[in-house]
Amino acid sequence: MQSLKSDVHIVGICGSLRKYSYNRGLLQEFKKQLPSNIKYTEADISELPFFTEEREQSLTETVVKLKQLIESADAIIISTPEYNMSYTAVLKNALEWLSRRTLQTPLAGKPVALIGAASIQIGVSHSHLRDVLYALNMKLINRPIIQVGNAGGKFDEKGNLIDAGVKELLGKLKDEMVKVSANQ
């Protein structure tokens, strides 16, 4: 394997605000599997104000910090549940902020991977999200697909992933993301 640059930075975004979210558990397991020369930071989107054009004139500190974090990333991994056959409003709001010209669209050109978990069987949320990420000119990492349905039995009570098959898939995604990130 070729040597990787040591300053690779992957940013995770969790589309769930729940403390012991299955989706945060997926991101935490992904982080555990990263080699020591890869930096990982999870973005906090919980305090973002709802996007309106009027708010672009005076950006909040939370919006500016998110923009700076995304700009520092070599790649992004998004983990989101499915609500009403789509992804979450909090994630949509973050993407709205990050797609604005006021912020110089920091998502454009970034490699991005999607993963997700839900207590029900997952259906179309990732399809909707892929359309949005395509519109934002992001570079989708398409495989492996990790959509964990009926997640209750695959995580413990603290949101830690306990399913060996999903852990293996996350390892494959980690390898792909590290390779793509190192070549940015």
pLDDT bucket at 126, cuts 50 / 70 / 90: confident
On whether the 8-182 domain is CATH 3.40.1260.10, my answer is no
* Res. 152: pLDDT tops 90: no
pLDDT bucket at 123, cuts 50 / 70 / 90: low
**Domain extents for the chain?**
8-182
CA-CA-CA-CA dihedral for 102, 107, 109, 115, to nearest 10: -160
Single out the residue of 128, 136, 144 nearest to residue 177, CA to CA: 144
Q: Which pLDDT tens digit goes with each residue over 5-40?
A: 558 999 999 999 998 899 999 999 999 999 999 999
The pLDDT of residue 2:
44
pLDDT bucket at 70, cuts 50 / 70 / 90: very high
Query: CA distances (Å), 89 to each of 46, 49, 108, 153, in order?
Result: 11, 12, 21, 26
* Res. 106: pLDDT tops 70: yes
- Percentage of the chain lying above the pLDDT 70 cut: 92
Average pLDDT rounded to a whole number, residues 109-115: 94
